A and B are shown apart, each in its own frame.
Chain A
Amino acid sequence: DTAVSQTPKYLVTQMGNDKSIKCEQNLGHDTMYWYKQDSKKFLKIMFSYNNKELIINETVPNRFSPKSPDKAHLNLHINSLELGDSAVYFCASSDLAGGLNEQFFGPGTRLTVL
């Protein structure tokens, strides 16, 4: 009965590779997010999708592309991985249509680029 789930939990890969992280929520929320947490624990939003449409796109490299096949899923695809992409990536969701901004977070995906 996990609310927000992410796969994989850990991802170790070589520089230059392409990888994807998947996120699913079963809360019936209409908005999903991706956040990046760097080595100093600082959390920053990357993308926000509302009903499969992009509503926030912070300044992230074009190598990062979110894809939302339906409102319960928001996947993150990363091309040409670089050392600086190593971080923990969190997915989250909220019910904006319901007037609630409370965000619920997934367990995180720790990405290590070698």
Chain B
Amino acid sequence: GIQVEQSPPDLILQEGANSTLRCNFSDSVNNLQWFHQNPWGQLINLFYIPSGTKQNGRLSATTVATERYSLLYISSSQTTDSGVYFCAVGNYGQNFVFGPGTRLSALP
């Protein structure tokens, strides 16, 4: 099956700092999503981005499908950005595989 890796596993950011999270996957996919799991456990959809670049406020994401990776950019981090960021990938009608996540602590 598809393997998904995320880096870094843990990240500490000072408020206002920028960061990049990476997701590598082992096979071609037609679905890639980024999620934020907040400290209350909710899984929040950030981006549906099987290819290309999208932006939403302070967050943006880029997926280079041919090279099997995706990047999530967080700019001007805020304490509310804390939580775990998951990348998940899959193909139509098949398993949706989650990466192990990046745990972000955004400090004031």
Interface contact B96-A90, CB-CB below 8 Å? no
Interface contact B96-A110, CB-CB below 8 Å? no
**A57 smallest CB distance to B (angstroms):** 11
Inter-chain contacts of B37 with A (CB < 8 A) = 41
Interface contact B45-A102, CB-CB below 8 Å? yes
Inter-chain contacts of A33 with B (CB < 8 A) = 96
Contact of B43 among A42, A102, A108 (CB under 8 A): A108
**B20 smallest CB distance to A (angstroms):** 21
Interface residues of B in 15-68 (CB under 8 A from A): 30-31, 33, 35, 37, 41-43, 45, 48, 50
Contact of A107 among B42, B86, B90, B93 (CB under 8 A): B42
Give A104 to B42 CA distance when docked, in angstroms: 11
Inter-chain contacts of B43 with A (CB < 8 A) = 90, 105, 108
Closest Cβ neighbor of A9 among chain B residues: B41
B65-108 vs A: 1/0 string, CB under 8 Å?
A: 00000000000000000001010101111111110110100000
User: Looking at chain B's contact residues, is the secondary structure mostly helix, strand, loop, or mixed?
Assistant: strand
Interface contact B45-A56, CB-CB below 8 Å? no
Give A19 to B46 CA distance when docked, in angstroms: 32
Give A44 to B37 CA distance when docked, in angstroms: 15
User: A41-B37, A88-B41, A108-B42 in contact; A101/B95 too (CB < 8 A)?
Assistant: no
Interface contact B95-A56, CB-CB below 8 Å? yes
Q: Does A58 contact B (CB under 8 A)?
A: yes
A-B contact pairs, 21 of them (CB 8 A): A33-B96, A41-B37, A41-B100, A42-B101, A43-B86, A43-B98, A45-B95, A45-B97, A50-B93, A56-B95, A88-B41, A100-B48, A101-B91, A102-B31, A102-B33, A102-B48, A103-B88, A105-B35, A105-B43, A108-B42, A108-B43
The 8 closest A-B pairs by CB, nearest first: A101-B31, A102-B48, A43-B98, A105-B43, A108-B41, A45-B95, A41-B101, A41-B84
